[in-house]
Amino acid sequence: MTLPSFPVIRLKPKIRPQAIRHGFPWVYDNELVTDRRTRALAPGTIAVLEDAERNALALVAVNPDSRIMARVLSRDLNAAIDAVWLADRLARALDLRKRLYQTPFYRLVHAEADGLPGVVIDRFGDVAVIQPNAAWADALLPQLVQALVDVTGVSTVLKNASGRARALEGLDDVSDVLIGQVLEAPLPVPMNGATYKADLTGGQKTGLFYDQRPNHAFAAKLADGAKVLDVFSHVGGFSLAMLAGGATTALAVDGSAPALALAAEGAARMGVADRFDTRKGDAFDVLAALADERARFDVVICDPPAFAPSKKALEAGLRAYERVARLAAPLVAEGGYLGLCSCSHAADLGKFRTACTRGIGRAGRAGQLIHTGAAGPDHPTHPQLAESGYLKALFYRL
């Protein structure tokens, strides 16, 4: 059955519909019949997706300007994609987070895994930062924001338009305050016994990376009495958690002076400024310099940006991860711990682990792999979408 109020798009004859029926949420442009009528659909248009035999499969959001030309919104062909539908999806997402966390600091919506394709929402108490990274969400942004306020009660909603995802959708890069007031200062965020300072308007992404929360907690278990090095530290994610866990000292290394300043503010707010230091510079250069200085640490953590953001960048990205491991391993004291992380969805766990282990071996070190971590449960994984399970963290005892 098709609904006359929606346009129709159709799979090519050789494209089998089983993936959509089994829950896969994307349809690529080369899988669709892209005639002039389909190409003329405005980005964000809601349509009915049919198979080649004209059997209706799902309601989808269409963007002819994107490689992902259709995103599944609902397999209920009678669904109305409106404020009520949005509020229902948000309420389901909120119910999960309220069960998981005692304080309102978490990722509220993790895109496809929460049934809102392309939408990321991070909550910071009474403030929410939304990344509408798909054309349909951008088109329905006023309704989405109102539903967000109604469901959560937040008083301020910020739009973050940074990142490559919006560019791939052909969307603008203009961030804005959608509801509430401009934030005058970074917000304090409690997590794992540490306090982080999050710049929600001028920082990276939404201001803080909640995904590493369980890996911060694991690292803190290794920290008692330890001397810690936190490379690619951003606002002190691992180092502040380990100071809260009893580390004697922590050195945070990052290329961003504003991020390191926020890390220092967090340390001061925690009362551990005397045990915390920062070093600005290119991470590879600093790792090499620390080796020349014969520096040694009980725990070394490296949490770089995505070196392999796409399949095309995979081989170069894996070489970069290997290089990080090779440079970091010599800085770990005998019997110490090395944590290596990747947020590259194109590098799966097996390939990432191989690159890291090879780098450790090339450094003349050997060790036990003691823990494999992923993102926290506020970043659920869509079972049919490997990209939603992007984060990997490996902890070795060398």
| Residues carrying an active site annotation | 343
**Number of Cβ atoms within 10 Å of the Cβ of 298:** 22
Beta bridge partners of 338: 300, 396
Task: Give the Cα-Cα-Cα angle 188, 117, 109 (nearest 5 degrees).
Answer: 25
* 124 bridge partner residues: 105, 127
How far apart (Å, rounded) are the C-alpha atoms in residues 104 and 127? 10
Residue with tokens 């010599």: 330
- Determine the number of helices (DSSP H) and then strands (DSSP E) in the chain: 12, 19
Q: How far is Cα 230 from Cα 299, in angstroms, rounded to an integer?
A: 8
Q: How far apart are CA 360 and CA 37, in angstroms?
A: 55
| Among candidate residues 220, 210, 241, the one with its CA nearest the CA of residue 104 | 210
Return the closest-CA partner of residue 198 out of 250, 120, 99, 269: 269
Supply 192's token pair. Answer: 């794992």
* Cα–Cα dist 227/229, whole Å: 7
Sequence-ordered strand ranges (E) for 31-114? 45-50, 56-62, 68-74, 105-110
Alpha helices, DSSP H only, in the chain?
18-21, 36-39, 83-100, 135-139, 141-152, 164-168, 213-221, 237-244, 257-270, 283-292, 314-328, 349-362
